[in-house]
């Protein structure tokens, strides 16, 4: 959000932040500051933002937990990286998905990856055996990953500009979902193979693989 827009809509921005949203302040498309809700530590009985989203049913926790993932940084897995791992045997994508960290993705990722498998099979890019292997791989991924619902807050963020435009709607959904987590960007890694997601994630201050 530009400084002028922030000034013109300051009261509504405060209400959005109070509701849990994080707002990036930009100058010429570059993020120079972030307005965030007060940090809620999990100490002394206070829940973190992630824990609050789980409690609210916005996040479905991973069904299979990996060692020490609870204390690891968040890794948001965007659909292009998942598809690259499942269908293209992209070694760097596979390694990124297996790296240590708490894995998180949007509910749309499984749908996007599932459609990619269907398209690949119908176009003859993969064999029936490869299709079955990809479907099994996607099922394993879904069990290992925390799934974030597409909420009204996500959809509202999608309707507002991102630092590097234009981007597609589904790309905006992924970026908005990462922002919904409420973690400092430097503690979140966005795993993607999409240049538009990468450029915006970097502009917002996230680490990118």
Q: Is the dihedral of CA 78, 80, 83, 89 positive or negative?
A: negative
The answer on 94 and 13 residing in a single domain is: no
CA 72 vs CA 67, 124, 128: distances in Å: 10, 40, 37
Tokens (6 digits) for 154: 């996500």
**Which residue has better confidence, 30 or 77?**
77
The answer on 189 and 129 residing in a single domain is: yes
H helix or E strand, kind and range, residue 146:
strand 146-148
| Number of domains making up the chain | 2
Domain of 175, CATH number, reads: 3.40.50.1010
Q: Residues 91-102: pLDDT tens digits? A: 999 998 888 888
pLDDT band at 104 (very low <50, low <70, confident <90, very high): very high
**pLDDT > 90 in the chain, percent:** 62
Are 193 and 97 within 8 A, CB to CB?
Answer: no
Domain of 17, CATH number, reads: 3.40.1620.10
The answer on 69 and 9 residing in a single domain is: no
Which DSSP string corresponds to 90-103?
A: -HHHHHHHHSSSEE
Q: So what's the pLDDT on residue 96?
A: 85
Q: So what's the pLDDT on residue 11?
A: 81
Rounded to two decimals, the pTM is: 0.78
The answer on 70 and 14 residing in a single domain is: no
The answer on 109 and 54 residing in a single domain is: yes
The answer on 98 and 141 residing in a single domain is: yes
Out of 48-62, 134-148, 150-164, 187-201, which region has the weakest mean confidence (pLDDT)?
Answer: 48-62
Task: Please check the confidence at residue 147 and state whether its pLDDT lies above 80.
Answer: yes
**Which residue has better confidence, 109 or 33?**
109
The answer on 20 and 71 residing in a single domain is: no
The three-class DSSP label of residue 39 is: coil
The whole-number average pLDDT for the span 163-179 is: 96
Q: Residues 173-184: pLDDT tens digits? A: 999 999 999 888
CA 19 vs CA 35, 168, 177, 179, 207: distances in Å: 12, 26, 15, 13, 25
The whole-number average pLDDT for the span 29-37 is: 73
- Helices and strands in the chain, H and E counts: 10, 8
Q: Residues 66-88: pLDDT tens digits? A: 655 555 689 999 999 999 999 99
The three-class DSSP label of residue 64 is: coil
**184 Cα distance to chain centroid:** 13
Query: What is the chain's mean pLDDT, rounded?
Result: 88
H helix or E strand, kind and range, residue 133:
helix 128-144
Q: Which range marks the domain in which residue 170 is found?
A: 43-208
């Amino acid at each position: 959000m530009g400084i002028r827009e922030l000034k013109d809509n300051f009261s509504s921005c405060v209400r959005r932040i109070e509701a849990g949203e994080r707002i990036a302040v930009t100058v010429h498309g570059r993020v120079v500051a972030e307005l965030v809700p007060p940090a809620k530590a999990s100490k002394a009985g206070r829940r973190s933002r992630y824990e609050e989203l789980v409690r609210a049913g916005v996040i479905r926790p991973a069904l299979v937990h990996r060692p020490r993932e609870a204390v690891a940084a968040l890794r948001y897995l965007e659909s292009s990286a998942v598809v690259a791992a499942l269908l293209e045997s992209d070694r760097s994508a596979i390694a990124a998905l297996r790296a240590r960290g708490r894995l998180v993705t949007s509910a749309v990722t499984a749908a996007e990856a599932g459609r990619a498998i269907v398209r690949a099979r119908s176009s003859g890019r993969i064999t029936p055996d490869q299709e079955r292997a990809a479907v099994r791989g996607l099922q394993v991924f879904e069990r290992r990953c925390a799934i974030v619902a597409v909420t009204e807050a996500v959809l509202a963020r999608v309707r507002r500009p991102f630092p590097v435009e234009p981007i597609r709607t589904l790309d905006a959904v992924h970026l908005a979902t990462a922002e919904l987590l409420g973690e400092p960007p430097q503690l979140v890694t966005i795993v993607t193979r999409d240049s538009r997601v990468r450029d915006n994630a970097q502009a917002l201050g996230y680490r990118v693989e």
